[in-house]
């Protein structure tokens, strides 16, 4: 692991630790302040980031085959975890399958992924990684949102004693999925993109300023959530999520990329390393929005980030043997 990536890991832990201290010392007040900050990220800063990203994507220049080799196995794993967890879900824990599914698949592609790709693959590999980043939240969060809103609609109907209507459930799911702080800015950004217009300079500067707050704010929220929720009772579930994220997901991407798509060399290495990144911060915001498994998700983020320091060299060794 390069010095640049190692320093980035240390910086991430430092900001998370600062958030933990802030929560412990009650610098920002009493109660679950982390949820207030999480809502600020979810309703203000992340929508700005998503709209700006999708509005500026050059769709014609995207490496679609390489992206398919990454996203097909990642989305398959998300659905597999969701379906496995859904068997044990109750109306009271309707959001749990989707929260665990996004936690097992959503990687830290920005704070850690960008310096990792830069250090290992230089500008050529970074371009591939940034193509993944541009679709990462758009794809995974949109699918997870659709799944959780469908489950919540069904659970609400059951609690109200209403007969389950497929049409009514799908209508409510579609409405809640579209009118959502993640999905709506993505759709608006894509519509703006396809319209062929460029973002006005003032709008672009404003959105960029808001987007810059996402990374430090999310890291502070992780630290404060770790202090608020603790790890008691969540360690076992978090370990399974870490196993899926650090081992299963990169293995699936490697198999699909190498044997199905036929990728070799740098493109294959970029998507496998990206898949091997630890759990990102967005799953915690997702968990807090639906008030489900916040402690488990926080623990998974911290443990997987520690674990990444050990597993990343192993995946680089595997990639080196493949050539």
What is the model's pLDDT at position 164?
A: 55
pLDDT of residue 295: 94
Confidence of residue 53 (pLDDT cuts 50, 70, 90): confident
Enumerate residues 6+ apart whose C-beta is below 8 A from 259. none
> Mean pLDDT of all residues in the chain?
88
Burial class of residue 202, CB neighbours in 10 A (0-12, 13-18, 19+): exposed
The pLDDT confidence band at residue 168, using thresholds 50, 70 and 90, is low
Q: Is the pLDDT score of 206 beyond 70? A: yes
Measure the CA–CA gap between 294 and 244, rounded to whole angstroms: 18
Cα–Cα distance, 253 to 193 (Å, whole number): 29
Band of pLDDT at residue 163, cut at 50, 70 and 90: low
DSSP assigned state of 230: -
- What's the per-residue H, E or C state across 69-83? HHHHHHHHHHHHHHH
- What pLDDT sits at residue 97? 97
Q: Return the axis-axis angle of helices 235-243 and 294-322, rounded to nearest 10°.
A: 30
- Residue-level pLDDT at 83: 97
**Domain 3-322 = CATH 1.10.10.10:** no
User: Tokens at residue 292, please?
Assistant: 């489900």
Please give the pLDDT value at position 179.
Answer: 75
Low-confidence winner among 78-92, 172-186, 192-206 (lowest mean pLDDT):
172-186
Domain range summary for the chain, segments of one domain joined by +:
3-322
Q: Which of 63-72, 148-157, 312-321 has the highest mean pLDDT?
A: 63-72
pLDDT single digits (tens) 292-311:
999 999 999 999 999 998 99
């Amino acid at each position: 692991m390069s010095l640049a990536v190692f320093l980035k890991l240390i910086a991430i832990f430092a900001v998370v630790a600062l958030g933990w201290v802030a929560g412990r010392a009650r610098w920002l007040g009493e109660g679950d302040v982390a949820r207030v900050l999480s809502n600020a990220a979810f309703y203000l800063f992340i929508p700005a980031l998503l709209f700006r990203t999708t509005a500026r994507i050059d769709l014609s220049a995207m490496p679609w085959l390489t992206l398919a080799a990454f996203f097909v196995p990642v989305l398959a794993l998300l659905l597999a975890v969701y379906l496995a967890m859904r068997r044990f879900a109750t109306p009271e824990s309707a959001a749990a399958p989707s929260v665990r599914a996004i936690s097992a698949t959503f990687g830290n592609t920005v704070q850690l992924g960008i310096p990792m790709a830069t250090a290992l693959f230089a500008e050529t590999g970074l371009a591939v990684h940034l193509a993944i980043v541009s679709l990462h939240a758009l794809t995974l969060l949109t699918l997870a949102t659709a799944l959780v809103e469908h489950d919540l609609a069904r659970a609400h109907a059951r609690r109200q004693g209403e007969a389950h209507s497929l049409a009514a459930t799908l209508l409510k799911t579609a409405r809640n999925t579209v009118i959502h702080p993640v999905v709506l800015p993505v759709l608006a950004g894509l519509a703006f993109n396809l319209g062929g217009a460029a973002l006005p300079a003032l709008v672009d500067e404003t959105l960029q300023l808001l987007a810059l707050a996402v990374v430090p704010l999310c890291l502070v929220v992780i630290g404060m959530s770790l202090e608020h929720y603790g790890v008691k009772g969540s360690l076992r579930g978090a370990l399974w999520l870490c196993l899926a994220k650090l081992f299963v997901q990169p293995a699936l991407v490697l198999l699909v990329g190498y044997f199905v798509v036929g990728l070799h060399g740098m493109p294959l290495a970029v998507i496998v390393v990206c898949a091997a990144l630890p759990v990102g911060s967005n799953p915690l915001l997702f968990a807090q929005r639906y008030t489900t498994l916040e402690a488990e998700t926080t623990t998974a983020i911290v443990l997987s980030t520690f674990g990444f320091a050990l597993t990343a060299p192993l995946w680089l060794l595997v990639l080196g043997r493949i050539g």
